[in-house]
Amino acid sequence: EVQLVESGGGLVQPGRSLRLSCAASGFTFDDYAMHWVRQGPGKGLEWVAGISWNSGIIDYAGSVRGRFTISRDNANNSLHLQMNSLRAEDTALYYCAKDSRITMIRGVVGYMDVWGKGTTVTVSS
Amino acid sequence: DIQMTQSPSSLSASVGDRVTITCRASQTISTYLNWYQQKSGKAPKLLIYAASGLQSGVPSRFSGSGSGTDFTLTIRSLQPEDFATYYCQQSYSTFTFGQGTKLEIK
């Protein structure tokens, strides 16, 4: 069964750090790009960051660039999100999602075909 | 950055109705447009990719169309399980989601 399981969420004070992880199974992890998507309380979906199969292409939403770092460990089929300098507006349910492509390039149809159930991050003092 | 605007933001309909949701991109994105369904408390689920491709396992009452900047998701003959929030997403330049359309029971 194709599965993504997120972990690492919790309550953290503003300005502090948190590291999220996503364990993948049921598919060849290093054949696909991966992403983090978040959803604030009562809000819509926001793409956060993406990483190609070999970490050669990495991109971030403007709202997190310079504070968050996405990484992957293909040997252990895992995706990570290091979140520094957290703000109240980073409070959200964070989803891990599999891309249909090996890398994020123009000219190739891309979509998120597998999602985890999410892990909740709350930034509050 | 490419902005995606959905309309309406919310919609009330009855079982058996035909429903159309629209999505407009701030610049041309060819057919790099996907649609997702999200039920309360659940992760999003891919319905339509590349504007009109039906994801495996998705009922044929769902269909998508459009290209360039204007796109539509149509649900023919609404079923009780279709009441959810729907999001469009562009994949022309990384990813951007629309703000969502909440489909409620009338």
Q: Is the pLDDT of residue A95 over 90?
A: yes
A111 touches chain B (CB under 8 A): yes
CB-based contacts of A2: which residues, under 8 Å, 6+ apart?
A25, A26, A27, A98, A114
Task: Compute the distance between CA of residue A122 and CA of residue B84 in angstroms, rounded to an integer.
Answer: 25
Which residue is closest to A4 within chain B, CA to CA?
B43
Alpha-carbon gap, residue A81 to A83, rounded angstroms = 6
> With an 8 Å Cβ cutoff, is A42 touching chain B?
no
- Residue A105: the pLDDT is 83
Show the CA angle centred on residue B89, arms to residues B84 and B92, nearest 5°: 170
The share of chain B scoring above pLDDT 90, in percent, equals 96
**Res A104 pLDDT > 90:** no
Compute the distance between CA of residue B87 and CA of residue B72 in angstroms, rounded to an integer.
Answer: 11
- The chain-wide mean pLDDT, for chain A, equals 96
Residue A120: the pLDDT is 98
CB nearest A111 (choices: B38, B43, B91): B91
B94 pLDDT exceeds 90?
A: no
pLDDT digits (tens, 9 = 90+) for B15-56: 999 999 999 999 999 999 999 999 999 999 999 999 999 999
Average pLDDT over residues B86-105: 96
The per-residue pLDDT for range A31-63, each reduced to its tens digit, is: 999 999 999 999 999 999 999 999 999 999 999
Give mean pLDDT, residues A96-112: 90
- pLDDT at residue A12 greater than cutoff 90: yes
Query: B33 near B52, Cβ under 8 Å?
Result: no
Q: Does A35 touch chain B (CB under 8 A)?
A: yes
Residue-level pLDDT at A107: 79
